[in-house]
Structure 1
């Protein structure tokens, strides 16, 4: 980050100021981006939105039903011999996270993906972010399958991955003032250990509120006017636990040193 320079017109006509240069010697951009969202998040948003647009505007109901069955996650698949069915059991623990059942579902997940995916992707980079998406979607699907073993339901949506991003953010994006100062200075703060994260009041409050919201969904309380029975709260918890406890495995090697 370049410090703001103090130009007093030395060597220049009175009142004339020379624009500061960037680190590479060139002039600064006159049109900085309005939304500082990493390429990986933009690509993820483009993918899930593009799939929804194709389904909503171009595909027939029969085609969309086939997509839901072949790419949505269903616990009942694993009651049958895997060799006697298609390979959907192999890809659906990930592919379900790219599908959405309604525009409201897509819009809600897109907002949270931009909010929590941005700091995570910026910290670990695009390649590690893709790996994190794959693993967290599987973790969310796994807990959903355990809780709903043998159920013929279909689960779609990126909420499990987004919950994992929320859990990951608890390990570095929240914290005391000096960590906030480091972020404002353009530096990534060290990763908090699980104990350090839980010792931080902001993190504790966030986790408690988050879990209470999902418990409310689990017992059938309506959330924001939605049908709670259709919300996979167990997938949310599976993703969050993965992100919170195992984010260190995805962090860049130079950033894994925990805070003192």
Structure 2
């Protein structure tokens, strides 16, 4: 390897060497979609299912599709042996359905924003596992709060909330960004206490919880229809992502050195 002063002894004249060194290096074109494969697949899946419901299935078939894949607390007050297996798969499949284009677009935006750093850190297999577990956690708190209610919950918001909670443990704060800039590596996972000690994380969590509690008590912060937002599922997902991310994170052992 040559040092910055160039080769010594016999060689090209300094002018020729300097001209060659000044020649611009061809740069790679940035990718069109700068998203990890896991996030792209998730976006394709939820968009594909929405298009299937919107343009392919008939009205009756679409309703049956939503009931069988959506999450409903009323299922669990009846004997499970006397119904379909929807009680088993719906705590996950509801996260793939969306009721409107606005609902889909909003969740897709946040999935791209928060799913990208988490998926890059976890890898595709762990990302899928995290999606499954966080959707179940979100559905579980929704079930507890709405026990026996004949409502139907759909949407990826619980999972996205878990991704937000997970990002608070490694992606926020100047210290974490500086680590990545200087080393090019994933930053160490912060402990819960270290994350809460970061002002950026505290402000984000405070604003996030304020918005969801406002929905819970009926404040019209998000316009008409905000009363139908499953705030409890959001909280269930966020708590899972924030407190349990270390169980999924391959870098969690670095937290002791942070």
State the TM-score, normalizing by the size of structure 2: 0.90
Q: Distance in 2 between matches of 1:76 and 1:64?
A: 20
Query: 8 Å contact 1:218–1:228 — kept in the other structure?
Result: no
CA displacement at 1:165 relative to structure 2? 0.3
Is the 1:96–1:155 Cα contact (8 Å) retained in structure 2?
yes
Please report how far the alpha carbon of residue 152 of structure 1 lies from its aligned counterpart in structure 2 after TM superposition. 0.2
Structure 1 match to 2:19 = 15
Q: Distance in 2 between matches of 1:227 and 1:150?
A: 22
Which residue does the alignment assign to 1:213?
Answer: 211
How far 1:182 sits from its partner (Å)?
A: 1.8
Matched, 1:227 2:231: no
Query: d(CA) in 1 for partners of 2:216 and 2:166?
Result: 23
**Map of 1:118-197 to 2, 5 A cutoff?**
118-175=116-173, 177-185=174-182, 186-197=184-195
SS of the equivalent of 1:257 reads: helix
Deviation at 1:184, TM superposition (A): 2.4
Residue 38 of structure 1, CA deviation = 0.4
Aligned to 1:83: 81
Q: Distance in 1 between matches of 2:137 and 2:241?
A: 9
Structure 1 counterpart of 2:56 = 58
**8 Å contact kept, 1:73–1:96:** yes
Report the equivalent of 1:236: 234
How far apart, CA to CA, are the structure 2 residues paired with 1:32 and 1:6? 28
Q: CA deviation at 1:60?
A: 1.0
* Structure 2 gap ranges (5+): none
Describe the SS at the equivalent of 1:191: coil
Q: Output the CA distance in 2 between the equivalents of 1:227 and 1:178.
A: 39
Provide the secondary structure at the position in 1 that maps to 2:95. Answer: helix
1:112 aligned to 2:110?
yes
Corresponding residue pairs, total: 247
Instruction: Report the structure number with the largest CA radius of gyration.
Output: 2
- Counterparts in 2 of 1:29 and 1:128: CA distance versus 1, 3 Å: farther
Deviation digits for residues 148-206 of structure 1 (CA, Å, limit 9, x no counterpart): 0000000000000000000000000012x332112224211110101111111111111
- For structure 1, the 5+ residue unaligned runs are 21-27
**What do you get for the CA RMSD once the two structures are aligned?**
2.1
- Match of 2:67? 69
Q: Give the structure 2 partner of residue 25 of structure 1.
A: none
